[in-house]
Amino acid sequence: MAAEKKAQTPGSRGGSRWRRTKASGTSEGTPGNGTAAANGTSGRNGTGTAKRRPRSGAAAAASSARKALVALAAVIAILAGVLVYGVTTDRTGWAPKLALDLEGGTQMVLSPTLQGENSGQDISQEQLDQAVEIIRQRVDGAGVSEAEITTQSGRNIVVSMPGVPSSETRELIQTSAQMAFRPVIVSGPGAATPENQRTDPKSIPQPEGEPENSSDPKWVTRDLFARYEALDCSAPRPQEERASQPQDEAIVACDPQSNSKFILGPVEIPGTDIATASYAQATNSQGHATGGFAVNLQFNDEGTQTFKELSERLYGLGQGGQNGARNRFAIVLDGSVVSAPTMNAVITDGRAQITGNFTEDEAKFLSEQLKYGALPVSFSIDSEQQISATLGSNQLRMGIIAGLIGLALVCIYSLFQYRWLGLVTIASLVVAGVVTYLAITLLGWGANYRLSLAGVAGLVVAIGQTADSFIVYFERIRDEIRAGRTIPAAVDHGWQRARQTVLASKAVNLLAAVVLYFVAVGNVRGFAFTLGLTAIADLLVVFLFTHPIMVLLARTRYFGNGARHSGLDPEALDAVPLYRGAGRLRSPEDGDGLTIAERRRRAAQQASAAPSSAAPSSAAEPGGNASVGSTAATARPDSEETQR
């Protein structure tokens, strides 16, 4: 038989039509020589005469497979290295960060609405960012630790915090933040005056008579001054403080940026009188850039008038020299002074410029605060969810159990379906799992990504979708084996086709994930994120692990020869060799619709009946209702070449 085989090889390779009078039992045992020769190995052969003829193509494939594996190992090693670095330097933990529904806590979704006459308008992104900033300060000020405030789809604000917030905190979050301009009466450093240095309240003269204007020191009562001295700007602001800022009375307030505190007169101009604010490079009186930045402020008609009067008074106080800080006015946002400039001129046209040693960022920030003040926002709680920590960890445990069960079932099924080839699926899933774990943990560290229950569900669902890439690939390989290719050739060809399919289908998955992520709200985002992440991890694994492993496995005796339980057994797959007894070759396109047994019988019949006759006839009936004459299936030995 071995001798016969050798004799066949040149005939089939040469592509000439070449007949043998005797149809021997080799019909199904004979390797597809056309393929085998081209790929450097001879195919499966029961007599074990398989002889390797390594060619540069196969060797190159194996070497690029090894390179791919090394690349994957490098990617994993780098990710793991970063994580180990993070953990050892105590910057992050081993576990991914968990979202509120798994960790327990409260989540509030706030929807901001513009107040007053602008209530119908949409909220700009800048407004929203300002609102987030204000809420963050309020929540921090209320002493709630680890609160997280984010925006959602450019419309809502999500406040997540551990535990259950008190009703005060809840109210605090909902109240609208107002901006106001108040004149400064007294200012000083932000620290509380030490107890023993405080002024005796009795030594402060209780003011007599009504204050003449909002800058009048008569606003400073004993009580107010005592509060001023006791005020410590570095301490968290007590919640009552904000409530005790009536519009028409003097107040105490802090400027956290410059760490100073003030006694301020009643509101002169409400923030809503601001028409617009911007920032630009500051110029001196000659019009040259000074290098710093300035904030330009424009009032509306009403504001222009009031500001004119305010500037006249404050400028006048500044000229007197004896009036301390009373030539300054404070811009107060949500109870805190954001800026307290000195009035350097009388401004009659409502166009004020605030200069100082602003950097561009500071100027931008202040102008955005002023714009925010022009359109104050109030919040209503759209939804609120409270999840206890025990329920959260319970849900996480259940999610993980579900994942493990699902994983185990998928593993069992693929072993069933693909025999030992199923191990490749399992190994690939493990690698995909490792990559996903590293990505999620690192994203938790770097981008504060938090895994939610929907995200866990996304991961579990992804097991199936990831495994599907391997199914597509394996089925393609099997198709190629069925068409009569040797196993290394089938891996090669199957990959070229499967790769396209996998790329196209994963592109659809990624598209869905990206669209969901950018359009959707809340939980949907977490889910979309994990779906997208796992799709990428899947692609990475298929290209850098599954395929290279298959290339290398195809070179082993066990898989390369299609051993019985390898999952690639040509006999079990009913492979039709490219060279089919009776001296005829067939194209891999064609199935002749017969089982091995049928073919054997057919071959035997023909051998006895018409030794030199042409093809066995067959009746493939594609589509169930059409008969196709097999005469059409004439030898096309070169079809192998045209395919390439």
Partner 1 sequence: MSNRLARFGNDLHSGRTSYPFVQKRGPWLAVSLALVVISVLIPVIKGGFNLGIDFTGGSEFTVSDVSTTDVSLGERAVAETPGAHEATVTNIAPGTVRVQTQQLDDDQTLTLKNKLQDAYGVGEDQVTSNFVGPTWGQGVTRQALWGLVIFVVLALALMALYFRTWKMSVSAIAAMLFTIVITAGVYSLVGFEITPSAVIGFLTVLSYSLYDSVVVFDKVRENTAGLVDGSAPEERRKRTFGEQVNLAVNQTLVRSINTSVVGILPVGSILFIGAYLLGAGTLKDLSLSLFVGIIVGTLATLFVAAPLYSWLRDREPGVREQTRRVLEHRTGEAPPVSADPVAV
Contact 86, 443 (CB under 8 A): no
Task: Give, to the nearest 10 degrees, the angle between helix 422-446 and helix 523-541.
Answer: 130
Q: Which string of x and - marks every residue 157-186 that binds partner 1 (by CB under 8 A)?
A: ----------x--x----------------
Site for partner 1 in 89-128 (CB under 8 A): 101, 109, 111
Residue 520 lies near partner 1 (rule: CB under 8 A): yes
Contact 322, 332 (CB under 8 A): no
Which position among 92, 128, 602, 637 is part of the footprint of partner 1 (CB under 8 A)?
Answer: 602
Instruction: Report which DSSP code applies to 323.
Output: S
Output the CA–CA distances (angstroms, integers) from residue 175 to 141, 161, 170, 334, 381, in the order listed: 14, 18, 9, 10, 11
Q: Among residues 95 and 405, whose Cβ is nearest to partner 1?
A: 405
Residue 453 lies near partner 1 (rule: CB under 8 A): yes
Q: How far is the CB of 98 from partner 1 (least distance, A)?
A: 14
Site for partner 1 in 349-378 (CB under 8 A): none
Q: How far is the CB of 413 from partner 1 (least distance, A)?
A: 6
**Pairing status of strand 377-387 against strand 105-114:** antiparallel
CA 134 to chain centre: 26
Torsion angle of the four alpha carbons 300, 305, 308, 312, in this order, in degrees rounded to the nearest 10: -160
**Pairing status of strand 336-339 against strand 156-161:** unpaired
Residue 611 lies near partner 1 (rule: CB under 8 A): no
Mapped onto helix, strand or coil, the DSSP state of residue 43 is coil
Residue 512 lies near partner 1 (rule: CB under 8 A): yes
Cα angle, residue 16 at apex, residues 14 and 19 outer, rounded to 5°: 120
Q: Which string of x and - marks every residue 529-568 that binds partner 1 (by CB under 8 A)?
A: --x-------------------------------------
Q: How far is the CB of 35 from partner 1 (least distance, A)?
A: 16
**Tokens, residue 511:** 């598209």
Contact 122, 129 (CB under 8 A): no
Which position among 63, 290, 385, 556 is part of the footprint of partner 1 (CB under 8 A)?
Answer: 385
Residue 523 lies near partner 1 (rule: CB under 8 A): yes
CA 293 to chain centre: 36
Report the number of secondary-structure helices (H) and strands (E) in the chain.
Answer: 20, 17
Q: Among residues 271 and 422, whose Cβ is nearest to partner 1?
A: 422
Only segment of 141-149, 287-295, 320-328, 632-640 that touches partner 1 (CB under 8 A): 632-640
Residue 478 lies near partner 1 (rule: CB under 8 A): yes
Which position among 210, 504, 557, 644 is part of the footprint of partner 1 (CB under 8 A)?
Answer: 504
Q: Among residues 66 and 397, whose Cβ is nearest to partner 1?
A: 397
Residue 146 lies near partner 1 (rule: CB under 8 A): no
Which position among 21, 47, 64, 153 is part of the footprint of partner 1 (CB under 8 A)?
Answer: 153
Q: How far is the CB of 557 from partner 1 (least distance, A)?
A: 22
Site for partner 1 in 404-433 (CB under 8 A): 405-407, 409-410, 413-414, 416-417, 419
Which position among 465, 536, 600, 614 is part of the footprint of partner 1 (CB under 8 A)?
Answer: 465
Q: Among residues 221 and 630, whose Cβ is nearest to partner 1?
A: 630
Q: How far is the CB of 547 from partner 1 (least distance, A)?
A: 17
Side-chain half-sphere of 486: how many Cα atoms within 13 Å? Answer: 29
**Tokens 């000229």 sit at which residue?**
319
CB environment 444-464: b (16+ within 10 A), e (fewer): bbeeebbbbbbbbbbbbbbbe
Q: Among residues 250 and 537, whose Cβ is nearest to partner 1?
A: 537
How many angstroms separate the CA atoms of 297 and 353, rounded?
6
Only segment of 226-234, 274-282, 346-354, 610-618 that touches partner 1 (CB under 8 A): 610-618
Instruction: Report which DSSP code applies to 342.
Output: B
**Pairing status of strand 351-358 against strand 289-299:** antiparallel
Q: How far is the CB of 304 from partner 1 (least distance, A)?
A: 38
Site for partner 1 in 54-83 (CB under 8 A): none
Residue 515 lies near partner 1 (rule: CB under 8 A): yes
Which position among 59, 77, 235, 381 is part of the footprint of partner 1 (CB under 8 A)?
Answer: 381
Residue 628 lies near partner 1 (rule: CB under 8 A): yes
**Tokens, residue 605:** 């019949």
How many angstroms separate the CA atoms of 47 and 49, rounded?
6
Phi first, then psi: give them for residue 500, nearest 5 degrees. -60, -50
